[in-house]
Amino acid sequence: MLMKGKVVLVTGAGRGVGRAIALEAAKAGASVAVNDLGVGLSGDGAGADAGPAHAVVREIEDLGGRAIALTKSVASWDDAQEMVAETVERLGRIDAVVNNAGNLRDVIFHKMTPEDFHAVISVHLYGTFNMSRAAATYFKAQNSGAYVHMTSTSGLIGNFGQANYSAAKLGIVALSKSIALDMQKFGVRSNCIAPFAWTRMIDSIPITDIEQAKRVEKLKKLKAEKVAPCAVALLSDAAAGVSGQIFGVRNNEIFLFTHNRPFKTAHTSDGWTPETVAERVFPQFERAFYPLERSGDIFSWDPA
């Protein structure tokens, strides 16, 4: 019962990874605020359905737990403030936030519209900021709190047709580190997880060739429920010394990702010119350049 007496707010918790985390947190003793708009994957608000959030609340109650449904948008500053305030009012406090809500508008970059870019940034990056900032006031006052934010190897490594999603997910990593630095003196922790899981978001990716079809078959083996234990452990007091880190979870594998650090250097006593950079630095660094790899190129083995 690592989360006994705690209150956790999980966004995008009506399905997939968010639902799994909400249920795992409840099993660990937490009261859970279940946020989900119940909209389509594009996140444009069409077809909003409060059903998924309320269904997860019922599942938690059937387990003997306590939960409430929140069906407002993380992309709205005002909605985020209201959802955190409602959580505190109805559940008594707030101890942790899981920023999991997401959407997709995959399109090759030269065809991506401003609307495609803005829609994804608004939910993922602004949504993470809005919910985190809303909870920060409470966390500071009580001198404790924990965040877990969902990033992606699409941002950490790369992928085709996801410039908007990749930018948002890598931005979340930087945001998480900044939160960890700024709020450590208040006992607040912030970490990221890159989840590998077959969800309706992944199911929406079009299959265009045989290699992609093979990759999709591998992805179908990845269970959303496998991500939840790591997330709940990070939210608990057992992770008191863990902050500013990037984890990955793929079925029974847990990864710790590196942070960007310089690993090659070149210097000159005379100062650089464009010509000397081209003549000396590029050839010196060439063997250390990263290739244009995608997530699937790095995680090429079958999940454990």
pLDDT at 127: 98
pLDDT at 163: 97
Question: Are 188 and 140 a contacting pair, CB within 8 Å?
Answer: yes
What is the rounded CA–CA span in Å between residue 81 and residue 147? 16
Residue 208 scores a pLDDT above 80: no
pLDDT at 198: 80
Burial 266-298 (b: 16+ CB within 10 A, else e): eeeeeeeeeeeeeeebeeeeeeeeeeeeebbee
- Interval 181-206: pLDDT, tens: 999 999 999 999 999 988 665 655 56
Burial class (CB in 10 A: 0-12, 13-18, 19+), 158: buried
Residue 43 scores a pLDDT above 60: no
What totals of helices (H) and strands (E) does the chain contain, helices first?
Answer: 13, 8
- Interval 31-40: pLDDT, tens: 999 999 986 6
Three-state DSSP state, 167: helix
Alpha carbon of residue 199 to chain centroid: 14
Amino acid at 29: G
pLDDT at 267: 95
| Nearest CA among 215, 211, 186 for reference residue 198 | 215
- Interval 224-241: pLDDT, tens: 999 999 999 999 999 999
- Interval 148-162: pLDDT, tens: 999 999 999 999 999
Residue 302 scores a pLDDT above 90: no
Q: At what angle do helices 228-235 and 16-27 cross, to 10 degrees?
A: 50
Residues in the chain: 304
pTM assigned to the model:
0.91
Residue 49 scores a pLDDT above 90: no
First-residue to last-residue Cα distance in the chain? 27
**Span 99-107, average pLDDT:** 96
- Give the tokens for residue 265: 């250097």
Comparing 65-69, 108-112, 210-214, 287-291, the range with the smallest average pLDDT is 210-214
What is the rounded CA–CA span in Å between residue 188 and residue 132? 11
Residue 7 scores a pLDDT above 90: yes
Question: Are 175 and 132 a contacting pair, CB within 8 Å?
Answer: yes
Residue 124 scores a pLDDT above 70: yes
CATH superfamily of the domain spanning 7-259:
NAD(P)-binding Rossmann-like Domain (3.40.50.720)
Question: Are 45 and 11 a contacting pair, CB within 8 Å?
Answer: no
Report the 10 Å Cβ neighbour count for 89.
9
- Give the tokens for residue 21: 């985390």
pLDDT at 52: 94
What is the rounded CA–CA span in Å between residue 186 and residue 183? 5
Residue 260 scores a pLDDT above 70: yes
Identify the helix (H) or strand (E) that includes residue 238.
none
Question: Are 38 and 21 a contacting pair, CB within 8 Å?
Answer: no
Q: Greater confidence, 95 or 297?
A: 95
pLDDT at 190: 99
**Span 287-295, average pLDDT:** 94
Residue 112 scores a pLDDT above 90: yes
Comparing 8-22, 205-219, 268-282, the range with the smallest average pLDDT is 205-219
Selecting among 126, 147, 165, 290, the annotated active-site residue is 165
Report the 10 Å Cβ neighbour count for 101.
24
- Known catalytic membership, residue 165: yes
Residue 210 scores a pLDDT above 80: no
What is the rounded CA–CA span in Å between residue 189 and residue 242? 7
**Span 74-101, average pLDDT:** 98
- Give the tokens for residue 159: 């992928």
| Nearest CA among 85, 86, 81 for reference residue 69 | 86
pLDDT at 44: 56
* Beta strands, E only, the chain: 7-10, 31-35, 67-70, 96-99, 145-150, 188-196, 246-250, 253-256
To the nearest whole number, what is the mean pLDDT of the chain? 93
CA angle 148, 15, 153 (to 5 degrees): 50
Q: How confident is the model at residue 41 (pLDDT cuts 50, 70, 90)?
A: low
pLDDT at 156: 97
Q: How confident is the model at residue 296 (pLDDT cuts 50, 70, 90)?
A: confident
Enter the DSSP assignment of 297.
H
